[in-house]
Amino acid sequence: KNQVEQSPQSLIILEGKNCTLQCNYTVSPFSNLRWYKQDTGRGPVSLTIMTFSENTKSNGRYTATLDADTKQSSLHITASQLSDSASYICVVNNDMRFGAGTRLTVKP
């Protein structure tokens, strides 16, 4: 069983709408959690990184939250744009435990 689970697997929203992606993990001990954005056929690009003591971090329209007690993280995207269409991958710890990703499609 994967120690990093992401939901939903895929998501379709209309341009301008907000959305929230989920990441639950069972990895222990926990050091940090990253959210990456990956455009089709390209390498992942880091959006945020949070350590145990941080519970929220923003990068423009992207806001990540972390609850280390419940081992849950979310990535909130505000006022979505067509360019947000991509896969969003949750990665736990520096030894890179990957979630399977959420495929987001933003439609006009």
Neighbouring residues of 28: CB distance < 8 A, sequence distance ≥ 6: none
30, 49, 59, 68: residue in contact with other proteins (rule CB under 8 A):
49
Token pair belonging to 35? 């959210």
Task: Please choose, from the candidates 96, 72, 93, the residue with its C-alpha nearest in 3D space to the C-alpha of residue 22.
Answer: 72
66, 77, 101, 102: residue in contact with other proteins (rule CB under 8 A):
101
29, 41, 60, 108: residue in contact with other proteins (rule CB under 8 A):
41
User: What span, in angstroms and rounded, lies between the C-alpha atoms of 53 and 32?
Assistant: 9
> Which CB, 19 or 47, lies closer to other proteins?
47
User: What span, in angstroms and rounded, lies between the C-alpha atoms of 57 and 42?
Assistant: 24
- Mask 70-99, x = binds other proteins (CB under 8 A)? -------------------x----xxx-xx
User: What span, in angstroms and rounded, lies between the C-alpha atoms of 3 and 83?
Assistant: 29
Q: How far is the CB of 32 from other proteins (least distance, A)?
A: 9
Q: Does 46 bind other proteins (CB under 8 A)?
A: yes
Residues binding other proteins (CB under 8 A)? 34, 36, 41-46, 49, 89, 94-96, 98-101
